[in-house]
Amino acid sequence: MSPPGRLNELDATSLARLLQRREISAEQVLRACLDRIEAREPTVQAWTHLAPDLALAQARVLDRGAIRGLLHGLPIGVKDLFDTADMPTGYGSPIYSGHQPMADAAVVARCRAAGAIVLGKTVTTEFATFHPGKTHNPRRAGHTPGGSSSGSAAAVADCMVPLAFGTQTAASVIRPAAFCGVVGFKPSYGSSSRAGVKNLSESLDTIGVFGRSVADAALFAEVVTGDARLSLPDETAASPVLRIGLCRTFEWEYADADSVAALEQGTRRLAGAGVMLADCELPAMLSSALQLQIDIMAFEAAANLAAERLNHPTLLSAALITLFDAGIRISPAQHQANLVAAARARIAIDACFDEHDVLIAPSTIGVAPAGIDRSGDPVFCRMWTLLGLPCVHLPFATGANGLPVGLQVIGRFDRDAALLAAARWMHGQLQSDQKR
C-alpha cells in the first residue's frame, strides 16, 4: 500500500494508527518531518539541536522490530529544559552551552520506551522564564510564538513534528499553544515525574504536551504520565451532556477584543450544541491567586537557580535578574504563608466543579503580539497553574489580523481524563462552527 502524501501533516493519532498497522514506516514519517524542517527552520527557528542521522537510525531499528508501544515510530520534539543522554541540553542559557547530561529525563525515557523518536531539542526561553529565544511564530514571522515552550509549540504548529514536550510554571504551555494555534495540555499538578527537568518552581512546575488535536495530546500524555485513564473512548461514543461554567476570571479587564470575541463565539456554538452553560462565579479568596503565583514562582526560582544567580550573574538576562530580586525580597516565613494560602485556594476552587463539569476561560489577552523580544502576558494562566488544575487550549478562531485565537478549558484536579474527553467533543463543535 502506498503511503498517504505529506505524512508530516497528519496528526499523531492518525500516524500512530498507520504505524501500528505497518501501513507506513517510521522512516517515511521521519523523512517527511525532516523535509519540512529543512524548508521552514530558517524562518521559524524552532530547534536548538537536531539529530537527523541518529533519528533515522532509530527509525530503521523500529521498522525492523516489534511494535514498541503507543508512540511507536512517532517523531517528537523535546523542550531544551529536559535532559537527554544523546543530545546537549542548554536550558535556554549560555551558562550551559554544550552541556551534555548523562541520562534522559524520566519522561523522555518513558517516551523512548514507548517507541517515540527524539528528533531534537526545541527552543525554550531562559530557564523557562521570560527572556525569549530565537523562535518566530510559524503563522506569521516577526510575531512571538509565546513562551516558555516556544520551539515546541512552533514545531508542532508548522508540521515539523506531530508531538512535542512543554512545561508550565505560569503560562508556558497554554499561551504558546494559543499563539501558534495548536492544542496544548497541562495536566494536573504532580501527574508525572519531573526528574531530569530543570527545576524552576517545585510548587508550580508541570510537564505538558502539544499536539494538533485533543486526541494527540491525550495519546502523548498517557505515555508521559503512565495513566491509562487518559485513553480517550472511541469518537463514535454518545455526545456528553456537559455542564460548562463560563469563567471570565478576576482578570477579565485585560482581555482584548479578539479574546472576548473568541470566547463569545465559542459559548454561542457550545450553547447551540446543547450543553448546559452558566456563569461561574469564583470564590472571592481567589482574587489574590494571581499575586500568589507571582510570589511563589519568584521565591522558588531565586532559590532553585542559586548556583546560576551567584556564580554566573553576567550571563543572566535583565528580566531574570529582576525576577530573582523580587524572590529574594520575600522572606521564608512569607513564602510558607503563601503556600498555605495556595493550598486553601485549591480547596476553594474544587466547589466550583460541584456545579460545572468543566470551566471555559480566555487562554491569552489576545493573539500573538508583533516582535519576538517578549513572549506575551501570562495573566490568564497564572491562577490555574497555582491551583494545579488540568487545562487544555482549544484553537478554533482567528483574530482581526488573521492570527489564531481560542479558549481554555479547565477541569477538576485529577479529573484529567474527563477534561480531555469533554475538550475533544467541545473542539469538534467549535471547529465545525469555524468551517461553516
Closest CA to 148 of 217, 220, 208: 208
Contacts with 291 (C-beta within 8 Å, 6 or more apart), sequence order: none
- If we measure between CA atoms, which residue out of 363, 403, 399, 396 comes closest to residue 136? 403
Instruction: Report which DSSP code applies to 284.
Output: G
142 contacts 372 by C-beta, under 8 angstroms: yes
β-pair type (243-246, 358-361): parallel
Q: Cβ atoms within 10 A of the Cβ of 80, count? A: 31
The count of residues in the chain is 436
Largest Cα span, the chain: 66
HSE (CB half, 13 Å, CA atoms) of 346?
20
User: Burial, 3: exposed, middle or buried (Cβ in 10 Å; 0-12, 13-18, 19+)?
Assistant: middle
Kindly state the DSSP code that residue 94 receives in the 8-state scheme. G
For residue 247, what are the CA distances in angstroms to 95, 176, 349, 409?
A: 41, 21, 12, 10
Residue from 81, 47, 306 nearest 197 by CA:
81
Sheet holding 391-398, edge to edge: 47-50, 117-122, 75-79, 163-168, 206-211, 183-186, 391-398, 404-410, 358-361, 243-246, 276-279
DSSP reduced 3-state for 74: coil
Q: Which residues are catalytic?
A: 79, 148, 172
Distances (CA, A) of 399 to 115, 141, 178, 286, 314: 38, 16, 11, 29, 40
User: Cell digits for 251?
Assistant: 482578570
